[in-house]
Amino acid sequence: MKNPTGFPITYLSHPYLGKLRKLLAELFVNPDMQNIAAATAAYLRQYPLPLEDFPRIEGTYSRNIVYRDDNGFEAMAARWSKGSITSIHGHPPFIFYFVIHGNLKIDNYRRDETGVLLGSSEIMEPHDHFFSIGKPGRYDNNIHQVQANEETLSIHISSDDSRKGEVFSKDSASVKKWQDTYYVAAPLPLRLPAA
């Protein structure tokens, strides 16, 4: 599938993630950030999701909502095509990333009065994960840019809709909300895993 706009497409469900959804529902009831990160990482190491079960979009990534709780917590699976790259963006107070398949390069930025400055870069490979707890009520926490070095599948959990994160350019302050760069697609019929 090719996406003419270059923006990621959001899918609203994936039919084969019942166990993971149940775990997330339990974890999100009374969110303990460290427990969410540890339990989700342990689950994904034991039960890695198949790359092929998530839609691939050339030049970008698909967002597949795994679970969304009434309290705002959200988990999504991202299927990245090789070479796809995000804008420089911030996040809600809590963010968790886990790489299931592939390889992501993360450029971490810090914000000052003039804009954002590159601080460090890291590579995330299968089973690598991180989480960050930032300032409540803000969407400029954990500012970074993500690039897929190969076909990749990752899980992302945030304390609110991650599309609310602020978007930055390297030489200016926040330019727009991340949610302005998305559109929503109907769920695709996805292949059942082999029995």
Give the domain CATH number at 23: 2.60.120.10
**For 118-138, b where at least 16 C-beta lie within 10 A, e where not — what string?**
eeeeeebebebbebbebeeee
**Is 4 within the bounds of a domain?**
no
Residue range 20-62, pLDDT digits in tens? 999 999 999 999 999 999 999 999 999 888 888 888 999 999 9
> Is 190 contained in some domain?
no
CA atoms within 13 A on the CB side of 110: 3
Please report the pLDDT score of residue 116 as a whole number: 87
pLDDT level of residue 6 (50, 70, 90 thresholds): low
**In a domain? residue 192:** no
Instruction: Report the predicted TM-score, pTM, of the whole model to 2 decimal places.
Output: 0.79
- What whole-number distance in Å separates Cα of residue 142 and Cα of residue 138? 11
Whether residue 179 is contained in a domain is answered as yes
Give me the pLDDT at residue 5, please: 55
Q: How many domains does the chain have?
A: 1
Which domain range does residue 71 map to?
9-184
Residue 38 falls inside a structural domain: yes
Kindly compute the dihedral angle of the four CA atoms of residues 72, 147, 129, 78, in this order, to the nearest 10 degrees.
50
Answer whether 74's CB lies under 8 Å from 10's CB: no
Percentage of the chain modeled with pLDDT above 90: 61
The answer to whether residue 116 sits within a structural domain is yes
Calpha distance 154→194 (Å, rounded): 21
- 172 within a domain of the structure (yes/no): yes
